[in-house]
Copies of this chain bind each other. A is one copy, B any other.
Amino acid sequence: MIHLDPQQRLHKIVLQMPFNRLLGIRVTRRHKDGVTIECPLRHDLTNLAGVLHGGVTATMADAAVGIAIHSRFLGTRSATTVEMKVNYFLPVSGKKIRARAHLLRVGSTLCVGRVDLFNDSKKLVGTALVTYMLLPPEEKKR
């Protein structure tokens, strides 16, 4: 029997999320207050200008907070995105984009995370605020 450490378990979960998998998102670190995820850039994630599509950056922000919540509750609670706000500072090119989610508020119903987005050169390329709603524990069983 193989034992997985928490980050490996988390990464395994992420591979079960089809869209995150399509994009190639992977968890690179768990933190006390969140997670760091990364996505390698490739041509089919770009826009007409040849840089990363804003939708990928938004997906990273949404995913980072979702995975942070999953990690926080050890997978015992389901949650759904309520709303999200992304500010874009710089066009993203290079090898990857990194998203660091900080859970700022974990309430009984709502969780809010801030996500800072970085390029290869560790430059801040954007920031986001994402709100999730925790679903009642019984809905999990369905």
Q: Report copies per complex.
A: 4
Classify the interface of chain A: helix, strand, loop or mixed: mixed
A65 to chain B, nearest CB (A): 10
Q: CB distance A84 to B105 under 8 Å?
A: no
A86 closest partner in B (C-beta): B84
Q: Which residues of A (76-120) have their CB < 8 Å from a CB of B? A: 78, 80-89, 91, 104-105, 107, 109-110, 112, 114
Q: CB distance A83 to B80 under 8 Å?
A: no
Is A127 located at the chain interface by the 8 A CB criterion?
Answer: yes
Is A36 located at the chain interface by the 8 A CB criterion?
Answer: no
Q: What would 9 A/B residue contacts be, using CB atoms closer than 8 Å?
A: A18-B45, A20-B53, A22-B22, A58-B86, A83-B86, A87-B104, A89-B105, A89-B107, A129-B129
